[in-house]
Amino acid sequence: MEVFEPLDITSWLGPFSAAIIGKAADALETGKLLYAPHLPFELSAAERRFLSPDCLDSKSKNVSFRPNSGALRGTRCVGAERDQLLSMTRRYYTRASDLLKALCPGYSDYLTPGFTSFRPAEIAGRVTSWRQDDTRLHVDAFPSRPMQGVRILRVFTNVNPQMPRVWRVGEMFEKAALNFLPGIKPPWAGTATLLRWLHIVKGRRTEYDHYMLGIHDGMKADDNYQSQVAQMRISIPPGATWACFTDSVSHAAMAGQFAFEQTFYLPVSAMKSPERSPLRVLERLLGHPLT
């Protein structure tokens, strides 16, 4: 099972060769991880103080930066130290945005930024519910944030100076969907309106969101699936950067500390091959539109 599309690049800005640009979007859309082993996100000497979970507040497992508002959350840092942490996370957002626009110029005008996350806590050993346990294979879907078919594209960098970040990568999206769709009942009429009226969700939950959540939960809840499905364990070394569509790549973060993650959203219409999107795959399998 080949999960990596290696990129021999050392610059976040490019310019990149026509060969690299030509394969980047195709690799992402077919469920591979773009993998740049020699693309570190460099921290200044002062910023290395944040390589500690001490920068988190008592309720958070990540520090998050909102590019649209400039807000920084999840940290106990104050004053100049908070400003420095904000500057670091903002810089990662800029780097990740520049990288995707240079690698996938066809996406450039359509990418919408989500949160920037800095993850200083160790993954392994974290106690949580099965639904929130990211060490279990899953595709991304959000209970309170309906995506309505929009793609979830993420860039990651391991900034741990010594240790790898360990993932598991599972089967292709369509195989997972075929496995779990039979056990997902159609949504009840009026459910989407009720959820929005009760402020349980932000926006309108479509049939697409209903089935994606069902697949996400079904994968995480099934112990046999977690252990028996075809999968690969990958170890991503310090200084490496990678990217994938996390709504179609079955993944689990098993171990690691000190990483960045930048989320982007991309409409299906901006893809090179929209038929590869989870939305179009589910519509084909179920036989009707889902948005």
Tens of each residue's pLDDT in the chain, 291 residues:
689 999 999 999 989 999 999 999 999 999 999 999 999 999 999 999 999 999 999 999 999 999 999 999 999 999 999 999 999 999 999 999 999 999 999 999 999 999 999 999 999 988 889 888 999 999 999 988 899 999 999 999 999 999 999 999 999 999 999 999 999 999 887 777 777 766 677 888 899 999 999 999 999 999 999 999 999 999 999 999 999 999 999 999 999 999 999 999 999 999 999 999 999 999 999 999 999
Q: Locate tokens 């689990």: which residue?
A: 252
Using CA atoms, how far apart are residues 175 and 90, in angstroms rounded to an integer? 37
Using CA atoms, how far apart are residues 49 and 232, in angstroms rounded to an integer? 34
**pLDDT reported for residue 1:** 64
Return the DSSP state at 268. G
Tell me if the bond preceding 143 is cis, omega within 30° of 0: no
| Contact predicate 7/24, CB 8 Å | yes
Q: Which residues pair with 244 in a beta bridge?
A: 154
Using CA atoms, how far apart are residues 67 and 146, in angstroms rounded to an integer? 20
Q: Hey, is 35 helix, strand or coil? A: strand
Q: Which residues pair with 56 in a beta bridge?
A: 75
| CATH 2.60.120 describes domain 4-286 | yes
Using CA atoms, how far apart are residues 257 and 83, in angstroms rounded to an integer? 22
Return the DSSP state at 75. B
**pLDDT reported for residue 196:** 72
**Domain residue ranges of the chain, discontinuous segments joined by +:** 4-286
